[in-house]
Amino acid sequence: MNQKELKDYLDDCVRKYNVKDFIEDDPILIPHRFSKLQDIEIAGFWVATLAWGQRKTIINKSIELMELMDNAPHDFILNHKEKDRKAFLNFKHRTFQSTDTLYFLEFLQHYYQSNESLETAFSQHMSTKDVNTKQALTGFHELFFSLPVAPKRTQKHVATPARNSSCKRLNMFLRWMVRKDKKGVDFGLWKKIKPSQLLMPLDVHVERVGRQLGLLHRKQRDWKAVVELTENLKKFDPKDPVKYDYALFGQGVIDKNNFT
């Protein structure tokens, strides 16, 4: 395909997958159960953190987690007592263990006691002139682990560009919170980060399709690969490159096209 044909193909895929029906089988289903900003943020951040493995399992574990917070995450985070955390000791998802769960509760309670929105935890580290969210992600990681009780093992669950991570789950969370259109999948609740600054959530499926379409050439699935893929997609839509996450993910997971 030439560039115009590729753009037309990708745009068609976006129209196909960026629809409300997409929500039913995707982890974004969980934050869509809420209407309050802070509930959506907390649910979205935690669900995105758990988003590896089968989507059905991710959704089920996320439902379990929301139930532990009485399906009112912001109220629970703000007002729960130490004794209320005992119920979380048996919550696990793959390598996300009770130690990680308890620290997430600790940080989120500490943060929301003095902040209105999780947006600031990211946006305060970057400016509107930044090409992408690298500084926001780096700063958020440092902030998240700034408490004296932060366990070292939990750091693997909140990635940072400083370690050349692809930051797939955080990039997905930012897509949810920042992107806004009329399709009703992404929330578009945050205004201090621009859609043009977002980066692609790079998982194994997006990577495979990106390579097959000639959009990604770097061998490693790392931060530099994320930037390369996003920059190539900006050629088709510089203001909203990560809308093509729907195209690459949809083709890689839902339709499982091989382009051969």
Single pTM value for the model: 0.95
- Residue 125 gets which letter from DSSP? T
Closest CA to 140 of 61, 29, 115: 115
CA gap 125, 153 in Å, rounded? 24
Q: Which residues of the chain have pLDDT under 70?
A: 254-260
Closest CA to 195 of 138, 238, 135: 238
Show the tokens assigned to 119: 């947006």
Closest CA to 173 of 227, 126, 137, 129: 137
pLDDT in tens, 97-153: 999 999 999 999 999 999 999 999 999 999 999 999 999 999 999 999 999 999 999
What separation, in Å, do the N-terminal and C-terminal C-alpha atoms of the chain show?
13
* Contact (Cβ atoms closer than 8 angstroms) between residue 138 and residue 146: no
CA gap 128, 61 in Å, rounded? 36
pLDDT of residue 256: 60
pLDDT of residue 260: 29
How much of the chain exceeds pLDDT 70, in percent?
A: 97
